[in-house]
């Protein structure tokens, strides 16, 4: 495109030269505002209620602002109730006795004051976008009113009319939702939305509705993207995990999956097996009949997964996963297996559909079941929506505001060098490795009809390969955990990264690999639960790296002892937030007090970070440059007037 044509197109966005100048002034003013608060969270693992609670309370930010604003004039118990009202206004109103007009007037004034406090670092135009459209004009009047002399009478008149119209509750609810939105400007999800818990679809719905979010893919996210892209082994694995943790029915209903052929096949070919009894919170309320059915389905999915793994390993020798061909290593009776020159007895066996002459071949019925499952998964409208969002908002890593975000690891050698990995005849290491994997995964996701091409198969390597940045272990010992009692065979050796990341020198080396050389840069990780109850700290390498997987998932809370970590980054630095396990909204409202999210400052900067110093600020600076060039172009083209 010729330069003149470009500026002609740019000018069409504005009706006059004065509009261009106004926009320039507005953008320059925005650059001088403090940066908004960023919220980092990882390893959500289907825990939608706990995730929603963290969003609603702004990782403790809302309560902190309430106490800062009102602590000197209102009792603590009242402020606790006010905080819960902001998180759950609809539920709070439903649970309370019919409020009086005076109560409504007071609560409206409190929420307006809190909104103003939360909106202090935003431009008026950005606040307007955050306000609910139905009440935008009215709320702007309340927020920006300067005459305080008749404030109480003004508020009472508004409340009286809203009560008459039956709209007062809706206004308060909308105002609380605005506060929730304002308190965090941008959300980073550092991987693992899916698996372990029952409600990943609800998390994805919350994320698609969020005003500003990015995602760094985790190994469990890749499993779902792989299934959507046509990887049958990824699909069977995620379904097996769902059966293992007893939320298979939940994802069947959430995504309208056709699991009937799978259940019929499992019923005909498998027996009850205590080694495959589902675990998880749903198991406590499940009927014995449901659990017996799931035991059979769980076995069927495991065997289908191992068969499809074997097929993939054989057609991709360059993945170097031959040591995972375990059906070959069983004796003829299938009661023992030979691993590293040692025989181990097998337990809970269910190999009746495994043919001795070709153990990795699917039967005709198995092929039909797998193909039906894949078609159902790929054609689910809701699944398509969620996976496309995961592709659009996600990546292997992200550099944002001079911070490096990735879920798992950067593969390293024991000496701390970047591990070279051969992919399609070429070696990749460090940043190039993550870029290449990102490229392959996107390539496959854009062509989901290709089920056995290299890019689609690579999803499996990303899930379980030795040098995958998303896995970071020598092997995945799923087979051993099911069938071998000797726990020494279950051990998975981690990549040297996980020991070396305690070193500031190694972290600086990794940051430099991604072009980050300033002291204010950090690595932000998820993936490995921090054992807080054993004294492990999420702060590594003298503060250069934060690991924020602290146990949001119930499956990990016995190990971690807490309800998860999140990280906040505002204009004055980083705060680490330690959350307590979340039970339910009803339990929180019954106590009328939230289990405190403990905050501590972990990296405070001198002065305040302004928007001009951020990633968004750099984008705005480029827009300013383009608008200034547009003015020059217009002056040359139309020097007298527009």
In this predicted structure, the answer to whether residue 637 has a pLDDT above a threshold of 70 is no
Average pLDDT of the chain, as a whole number: 88
Residue 149, pLDDT score: 59
State how far the Cα of 107 lies from the Cα of 274, in Å rounded to an integer: 56
- Residue 277: what are its φ and ψ, rounded to 5°? -70, 130
In this predicted structure, the answer to whether residue 1 has a pLDDT above a threshold of 50 is no
DSSP letter at 22 equals H
In this predicted structure, the answer to whether residue 10 has a pLDDT above a threshold of 70 is no
Residue 208, pLDDT score: 97
In this predicted structure, the answer to whether residue 251 has a pLDDT above a threshold of 80 is yes
In this predicted structure, the answer to whether residue 281 has a pLDDT above a threshold of 60 is no
Q: pTM for the full model?
A: 0.91
State how far the Cα of 189 lies from the Cα of 37, in Å rounded to an integer: 14
The residue that leads in pLDDT, 300 or 632, is 300
For 521-578, the pLDDT digits (tens) are 999 998 877 777 788 888 999 999 999 886 677 777 777 777 778 899 988 888 888 8
Strand order in the sheet with 38-41: 394-395, 213-216, 186-189, 38-41, 565-570, 573-578, 598-604
Using DSSP, state whether 343 is helix, strand or coil.
strand
Q: How far is CA 289 from CA 185, 211, 253, 546, in A?
A: 48, 44, 19, 45
In this predicted structure, the answer to whether residue 384 has a pLDDT above a threshold of 50 is yes
**Number of neighbouring beta carbons within 10 Å of residue 357:** 5
Residue 641, pLDDT score: 43
Q: How many separate helices (H) and strands (E) can be counted in the chain?
A: 27, 16
């Amino acid at each position: 495109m010729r330069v003149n044509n470009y500026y002609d197109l740019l000018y069409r966005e504005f009706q006059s030269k004065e509009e261009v100048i106004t926009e320039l002034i507005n953008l320059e003013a925005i650059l001088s505002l403090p940066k908004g608060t960023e919220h980092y969270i990882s390893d959500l693992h289907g825990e939608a209620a706990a995730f929603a609670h963290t969003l609603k309370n702004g990782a403790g930010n809302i309560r902190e602002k309430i106490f800062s604003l009102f602590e000197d004039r209102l009792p603590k118990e009242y402020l606790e109730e006010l905080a819960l009202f902001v998180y759950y206004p609809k539920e709070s109103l439903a649970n309370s006795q019919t409020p009086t007009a005076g109560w409504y007037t007071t609560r409206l004034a409190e929420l307006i004051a809190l909104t103003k406090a939360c909106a202090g670092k935003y431009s008026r135009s950005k606040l307007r976008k955050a306000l609910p459209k139905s009440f935008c004009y009215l709320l702007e009047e309340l927020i920006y009113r300067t005459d305080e002399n008749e404030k109480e009478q003004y508020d009472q008149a508004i409340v009286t009319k809203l009560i008459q119209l039956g709209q007062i509750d809706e206004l308060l609810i909308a105002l609380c939702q605005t506060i929730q939105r304002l308190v965090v400007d941008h959300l980073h999800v550092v991987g693992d939305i899916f698996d372990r818990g029952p409600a990943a679809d609800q998390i994805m719905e919350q994320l698609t509705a969020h005003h500003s979010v990015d995602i760094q893919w985790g190994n469990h996210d890749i499993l779902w993207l792989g299934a959507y892209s046509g990887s049958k082994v990824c699909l069977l694995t995620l379904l097996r995990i769902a059966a293992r943790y007893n939320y298979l029915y939940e994802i069947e209903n959430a995504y309208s999956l056709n699991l009937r052929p799978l259940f019929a096949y499992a019923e005909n070919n498998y027996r009850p097996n205590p080694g495959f009894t589902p675990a998880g919170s749903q198991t406590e309320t499940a009927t014995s009949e449901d659990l017996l059915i799931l035991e059979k389905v769980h076995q069927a999915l495991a065997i289908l997964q191992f068969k499809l793994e074997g097929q993939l390993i054989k057609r991709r020798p360059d993945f170097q996963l031959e040591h995972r061909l375990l059906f070959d290593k069983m004796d003829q009776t299938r009661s023992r297996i030979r691993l590293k020159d040692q025989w181990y007895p097998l337990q809970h066996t269910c190999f009746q559909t495994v043919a001795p002459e070709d153990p990795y071949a699917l039967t005709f019925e198995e092929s039909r079941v797998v193909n039906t499952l894949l078609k159902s998964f790929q054609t689910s409208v809701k699944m398509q929506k969620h996976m496309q969002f995961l592709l659009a908002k996600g990546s292997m890593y992200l550099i944002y505001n001079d911070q490096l975000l990735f879920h798992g690891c950067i593969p390293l050698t024991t000496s701390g060098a970047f591990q070279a990995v051969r992919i399609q005849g070429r070696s990749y290491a460090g940043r190039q490795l993550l870029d290449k994997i990102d490229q392959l995964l996107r390539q496959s996701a854009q062509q989901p009809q290709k089920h056995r091409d290299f890019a689609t198969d690579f999803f499996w390597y990303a899930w379980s390969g030795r040098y995958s940045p998303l896995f970071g272990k020598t092997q995945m010992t799923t087979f051993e955990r099911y069938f071998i009692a000797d726990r020494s065979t279950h051990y998975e050796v981690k990549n040297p990264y996980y020991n070396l990341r305690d070193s500031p020198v190694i972290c600086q080396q990794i940051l430099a690999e991604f072009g980050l050389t300033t002291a204010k840069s950090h690595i932000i990780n998820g993936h490995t639960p921090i054992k807080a109850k054993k004294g492990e700290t999420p702060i590594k390498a003298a503060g250069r790296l934060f690991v924020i997987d602290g146990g949001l998932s119930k499956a990990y809370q016995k190990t971690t002892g807490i309800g998860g970590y999140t990280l906040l980054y505002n204009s004055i630095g980083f705060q680490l937030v330690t959350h307590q396990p979340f039970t339910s909204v009803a339990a929180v409202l019954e106590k009328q007090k939230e289990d405190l999210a403990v905050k501590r400052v972990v990296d405070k900067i001198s002065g305040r970070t302004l928007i001009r110093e951020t990633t968004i600020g750099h984008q705005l600076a480029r827009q300013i440059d383009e608008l200034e060039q547009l003015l020059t172009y217009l002056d040359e083209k139309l020097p007298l007037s527009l």
